[in-house]
Amino acid sequence: RCFCKLRGEVDDCSCKVETLDSLNNNKIYPRLKSLLARNYFRYFKVNLQKPCPFWSDDSRCALKDCHVNVCQEDEVPIKTKKENNEHEHEKSKYSKDSNMQEQDKTLEESCAEERELSALDTTISKEKMAEFETWKEHDESLPMFCEIDDEDSNGMEYVDLLLNPERYTGYKGASPHKVWRSIYEENCFKPEQNVKYGPEIVGDLESTMCLEKRVFYRLISGLHTSINIHLCDQYLFPDKSGFGPGTWDHNLDEFQRRFDPELTKGLGPQRLKNLYFTYLIELRAITKAIPYLERETFYTGDIKEDVEVMEGVSDFLSVAGSFEHHFDESQLFKGNTDEMKQLKTEFVQHFRNISRIMDCVGCDKCKLWGKLQTLGMGTALKILFSGDSMNPGSTVNTKSKNFQLTRTEIVALFNAFGRLSSSIHALETFRSLAR
């Protein structure tokens, strides 16, 4: 049952899955793991307070505030149930049958668990906060190539990524489905021919969508795969007695439900292959930005730490840079036609929309990682297509003075790629569990 052992070329790339497994698991993943634990990469500046620009918050209970009445402690019908005999009028207030009350109790329990799992750990020491001020002064002295929406807004905060790992949060049901549906149905490109889709595109993408549209869809699908692998990889199994805190472990059943060809009508392997595609695109962007990243100081104010990080990055880049010619972005947006210009504009607009949809994610931890990973992917696309590179045949000049990445973009780019790398690494775990 080693269905997750994929073989052959990654679609739209000249690279085999097997080659990537080996490169990632032996060389990239261990280097990134230690690099991302460094101060420069572990604190991410983000605004999690921005309201959803597309619809009113409909998350069940995972947000800071619980929007379902039964999640409010003093309104939980179970209380009424207990006091049933003494307070008859209370009973009529909650005119629900006992079945409903049981459901409410279950919902309240699961809400409590969901709230706990999705809550962010915002512990950051006073010393670290003072250090951030030095970082800020340094960052603000740099010219900005591109304005990141959140950078100057009030709700910007540093989050310690190591304290808030991407893992199972219990965020499921209507809220994430609405987010994913909105991403795929409204902001991904649709097949040109009349092919059944939605939210997932089924069938042969090559004959129904042009390269640019396929790239866009595969990038998003690969991100989706990665997020879902992480929740299977670090899953919370409830305590058998019902009283304990539960156990974190790999959940093979959950993984199979999402990726096994038989259980997914054949779609699982394609979802997994899209992960490799997304990995390759981000790897390509990082290697393209090597001249720029090699000049980056990774400033934190601690000279020893900064030097060590520069050495670690340089080591990582030498491995990443030795792996070339796996994706050719110059094949995208070829030809200076109006149609192509329109396609480029739509590509950028759709991507921007998706990054804004992340503010609609109804679970703080998922939102944190969703925002980080879309920013990282956006940074990768910026590297691949920035400046005149949106014109045919040109390449990004990362040595140019105009090219600039902010600290937040660099942190997002490395961590986003780190997530994809960790997902590919996790596949190895599931392969051995399935044996």
| Residue 341 binds to ligand FAD (criterion: CB under 6 A) | no
Q: Which residues pair with 197 in a beta bridge?
A: 201
Pseudo-torsion of CA 328, 215, 272, 236, nearest 10°?
120
Nearer to ligand FAD, 119 or 319 (CB): 119
Rounded Cα–Cα distance for residues 226 and 28 (Å): 16
Instruction: State the nearest-atom distance from the C-beta of 187 to ligand FAD, in Å.
Output: 12
| Residue 166 binds to ligand FAD (criterion: CB under 6 A) | yes
432 is in an annotated binding site: no
Rounded Cα–Cα distance for residues 263 and 268 (Å): 8
135-144: b (≥16 Cβ within 10 Å) or e: beeebeeeee
Q: Which two tokens stand for residue 314?
A: 């340089």
224 is in an annotated binding site: yes
Identify which range of 298-306, 347-355, 360-368, 393-401 contacts ligand FAD by CB under 6 A.
Answer: 360-368
Given candidates 3, 40, 94, 168, which one binds ligand FAD under the rule CB under 6 A? 168
CA 37 to chain centre: 18
Rounded Cα–Cα distance for residues 396 and 388 (Å): 7
Nearer to ligand FAD, 199 or 392 (CB): 199
Rounded Cα–Cα distance for residues 327 and 69 (Å): 51
Pick from 153, 156, 113, 33: nearest CA to 422:
33
89 is in an annotated binding site: no
Identify which range of 60-68, 169-177, 322-330, 386-394 contacts ligand FAD by CB under 6 A.
Answer: 169-177
Query: Active site includes 363?
Result: yes
Given candidates 172, 190, 356, 431, which one binds ligand FAD under the rule CB under 6 A? 172
| Residue 271 binds to ligand FAD (criterion: CB under 6 A) | yes
Identify which range of 43-51, 140-148, 166-174, 317-325 contacts ligand FAD by CB under 6 A.
Answer: 166-174
| Residue 369 binds to ligand FAD (criterion: CB under 6 A) | yes
218 is in an annotated binding site: no
Crossing angle of helices 407-434 and 268-288, in 10° steps, is 140
Residues 214-233 that bind ligand FAD (CB under 6 A): 221, 224-225, 227-228, 231
Identify which range of 25-33, 174-182, 381-389, 417-425 contacts ligand FAD by CB under 6 A.
Answer: 174-182
Which string of x and - marks every residue 239-258 that binds ligand FAD (by CB under 6 A)? Answer: --------------------
Nearer to ligand FAD, 50 or 224 (CB): 224
Number of residues forming the site for ligand FAD (CB under 6 A): 24
Q: Identity (one letter) of the amino acid at 320?
A: A
Pick from 210, 177, 170, 172: nearest CA to 191:
210
Pick from 387, 388, 364: nearest CA to 116:
364
Instruction: State the nearest-atom distance from the C-beta of 420 to ligand FAD, in Å.
Output: 13
Instruction: State the nearest-atom distance from the C-beta of 320 to ligand FAD, in Å.
Output: 24
Query: Active site includes 71?
Result: no
Pick from 91, 344, 382, 336: nearest CA to 211:
344
- Helix ranges (H only) for 83-210 are 88-93, 98-118, 126-140, 174-181, 187, 205-208
Given candidates 11, 75, 90, 200, which one binds ligand FAD under the rule CB under 6 A? 200
- At residue 122, what are phi and psi to the nearest 5 degrees? -100, 20
In order, the DSSP letters of 276-310 are: HHHHHHHHHHHHHTHHHHTT-----S-HHHHHHHH
| Residue 361 binds to ligand FAD (criterion: CB under 6 A) | yes
3-state helix, strand, coil in the chain (%, to 5): 60, 5, 35
Rounded Cα–Cα distance for residues 372 and 379 (Å): 10
Given candidates 71, 111, 179, 280, which one binds ligand FAD under the rule CB under 6 A? 179
| Residue 308 binds to ligand FAD (criterion: CB under 6 A) | no
169 is in an annotated binding site: yes
Instruction: State the nearest-atom distance from the C-beta of 177 to ligand FAD, in Å.
Output: 5
| Residue 284 binds to ligand FAD (criterion: CB under 6 A) | no
| Residue 430 binds to ligand FAD (criterion: CB under 6 A) | no
Residues in binding site: 167, 169, 180, 221, 224, 258
Residues in binding site for FAD: 167, 169, 180, 221, 224, 258
Binding-site ranges for ligand FAD (CB under 6 A): 166, 168-169, 171-172, 176-177, 179-180, 199-200, 221, 224-225, 227-228, 231, 271, 358, 361, 365-366, 369-370
* Catalytic positions: 363, 366
